Structure 1
């Protein structure tokens, strides 16, 4: 009996989608056999031995959870692990909870990526927004998430980074929004530790941004991925969100616990929506719950239990504050060490922006050609935009990293 001919595949017409650059860099770094290679690409915290760091508070909370005979693996409510939701709200809004508690709608999400996805889809649908304003540059996944979650919403860019000065292009940002934004547009804002630049507005500048949003009737949507991790101060890192909430804005916050709890693989996140009237809460909650049911029914519980256990236990919470200080202080120390070493080498250019920026990432000012030479000649990996993960630096490699940068900068000058 002859074999049947193989039919054409229904999927043969698909173009291969390019691999995400961050994960491609991680793959290439893993394949590099050089003994002194340096990874400044991955957006994950590493300790001074370049190893993953489980926060001591997280380790202790996890042991308590596992040892608890009442711990089970049952489904959670669709809105999320019940103790987790109010604690996540309190972390974000702090003392404003007294006045906002009856106007906040929340659900647990698949980390910050899932929170952004839900926010983009839900807000665009219920507000019928035609455009969203996104900083130039932004976290690369923001654009993909909008394409997938709300393709009908046109993505507009507002200026953010001044390449000549390696600083915030604040005047251009405000002028663009004032001239071109329309009532009903969404604006995507980074709550702190802007990714990829590491450059945040000052409190005074945030007030001006809020003025523009109010004047132009924009809907603020905050991506909050680094609260406490950026500065070590939970209140300071939530300043912008609370400023807008206190001024009476309806807004949304996509919250991630990957960085500040080190729970990268547990995918713990939340979406919070502040509405102007309490009678809008039940219907808003029902629509969010519908999205949850249609996508994953209930969120993973283990990571949410860890967060809840820490935030609800005074001793563990205090210990977690110390863990935040360890991480944020090490990043600041590595920024200073890299800057000092570049200064010692006399590397051409101005490098003050490295210590002026905040959080995990630095927009180094290196161009794509220099980044490629760093990889090919120096075995040092970072994003083609020049974004470097400061967490990849440590006392053993920071001098080598500075020497590598010095080498490629001088080579370009001499070419």
Structure 2
């Protein structure tokens, strides 16, 4: 017997090539998965490189495309002070396991705001600042993007595109698109010929940007090139942003690892805030504290009037509750403990300065090795860049040569992590770059 509205499949009925049974039932017995038609996402260049590196059986292979800071021994570096603070916190009887507030630990957000803007910042004194702890740097960018999308929705006049530097972290566009902002454009940043930032073309692109556009700007530690704008160049950019009514969104993904000082790395943010500009700034403390697995990020919002703070705070709270509910507390406790104790802060800064000095020494030695080998071109740009990342200026064919013939893995645009070079592999890397420049595939 068959009831009206229901189809009964006969035992043993078979499916045709479309997954439909001979009696017309599209899914007899519920055999098809709801995920059947899911399309595979594009694999990132970093993921492809790491997979290829792991499959490579050559003993001489070198991986230069990672994002962490690597020690001279080739391991991700753990700061001695951070380990000590973690032990102290684990033994503290006054600390109980509990959920932090949705917007994060108050002491952490206060200290993160201070190192971005400076303790004497007028914006802080006038209470025109909101800080939100996030589970990592990407989450800080995403929260900023969600706030921008909210402003687009409630204010028809504020709906311009988002401009990203070219090149930039290839995940950034996807973060903004996931928040519902689809109009993503690029502005000129790195010049392959000059092997430096091209301020003239950058200004030309921003001059053509529609009013109300959002400009995502590297404050320091630009990924993947390691090339930053100088303090002398920033006034021209801020004047254009103000005149063209653009909105700056700063990125600080590796704060303190360019100059060994949190506030100096954040100088562009402080300068813009001192000019009375509104801004967003995504920060990360994972690099400079070696807290890679603990996702310590922060989003900073600076307003023109303190009357705007509470409304934005309530909107941020609503967004956070729908994305990650509450940030992790462990890493934020460590950062807050170090930055709130002057003795700890001095010890921590000493460790960070040694990291920066080692990276600069590697740049110096690599440049000198290439000069002695007679590598074509000038390599001064290696020491003019700063932080963990470096753009060699090698083209795609030369990068392929390094990968296929020398088993040296760096990003497709010729950028690499300078800290991954050490005393054991530096000569091999220099020789490989020389060969890539003088040998055809």
Q: Does 1:150 align with 2:174?
A: no
- The root-mean-square deviation of aligned C-alpha atoms, in Å, is 1.6
1:191-206 superposed matches below 5 A: 191-206=219-234
Q: Does 1:182 align with 2:206?
A: no
Tell me, yes or no, if the aligned pair for 1:61 and 1:316 is still in contact at 8 Å.
no
Instruction: Report what 1:345 is aligned to.
Output: 373
Deviation at 1:5, TM superposition (A): 5.2
Q: Does 1:93 align with 2:117?
A: yes
| The 10-residue stretch of structure 1 (361-370 or 270-279) with the greater mean CA deviation from structure 2 | 361-370
| The 10-residue stretch of structure 1 (73-82 or 24-33) with the greater mean CA deviation from structure 2 | 24-33
Instruction: Report what 1:288 is aligned to.
Output: 316
Choose from 60, 65, 83 the match for 2:89.
65
Deviation at 1:98, TM superposition (A): 4.9
Partners of 2:365 and 2:96 lie apart in 1 by: 47
Q: Report the count of equivalent residues.
A: 411
Q: Deviations over 1:181-213 (max 9, x none)?
A: 222111100010211111111112111000000
Tell me, yes or no, if the aligned pair for 1:230 and 1:360 is still in contact at 8 Å.
yes
Deviation at 1:8, TM superposition (A): 4.0
Instruction: Report what 1:162 is aligned to.
Output: 191
Q: TM-score normalised to the size of structure 1?
A: 0.95
Q: Does 1:109 align with 2:134?
A: yes
Instruction: Report what 2:101 is aligned to.
Output: 77
Instruction: Report what 2:304 is aligned to.
Output: 276
Deviation at 1:91, TM superposition (A): 1.1
Tell me, yes or no, if the aligned pair for 1:96 and 1:242 is still in contact at 8 Å.
no
Q: TM-score normalised to the size of structure 2?
A: 0.90
1:258-407 superposed matches below 5 A: 258-407=286-435
Tell me, yes or no, if the aligned pair for 2:123 and 2:129 is still in contact at 8 Å.
no
Q: Deviations over 1:281-300 (max 9, x none)?
A: 11110000111111111100
Higher relative contact order structure (alpha carbons within 8 Å, sequence separation ≥ 6)? 1
SS at match of 1:388: strand
SS at match of 1:156: strand
Instruction: Report what 1:235 is aligned to.
Output: 263
Question: 1:72–1:30: structure 2 CA closer, same or farther, 3 Å change rule?
Answer: farther
Choose from 277, 281, 290 the match for 1:253.
281
| The 10-residue stretch of structure 1 (110-119 or 91-100) with the greater mean CA deviation from structure 2 | 91-100
Q: Deviations over 1:204-247 (max 9, x none)?
A: 21110000000101110001112211111223211100010000
1:42-57 superposed matches below 5 A: 42-57=66-81
Partners of 1:268 and 1:381 lie apart in 2 by: 28
Q: Does 1:141 align with 2:171?
A: yes
Tell me, yes or no, if the aligned pair for 1:129 and 1:186 is still in contact at 8 Å.
no
Partners of 1:79 and 1:165 lie apart in 2 by: 43
Partners of 2:140 and 2:42 lie apart in 1 by: 24
Instruction: Report what 2:155 is aligned to.
Output: none
Deviation at 1:99, TM superposition (A): 4.1
Partners of 1:315 and 1:29 lie apart in 2 by: 42
Q: Deviations over 1:365-408 (max 9, x none)?
A: 11122212211211111111111110110112111100111111
SS at match of 1:188: strand
SS at match of 2:137: helix
Choose from 247, 272, 281 the match for 1:244.
272
Tell me, yes or no, if the aligned pair for 1:213 and 1:219 is still in contact at 8 Å.
yes
Tell me, yes or no, if the aligned pair for 1:138 and 1:195 is still in contact at 8 Å.
yes
Instruction: Report what 2:23 is aligned to.
Output: none
Instruction: Report what 1:24 is aligned to.
Output: 48
Deviation at 1:51, TM superposition (A): 1.1
Tell me, yes or no, if the aligned pair for 2:217 and 2:251 is still in contact at 8 Å.
yes
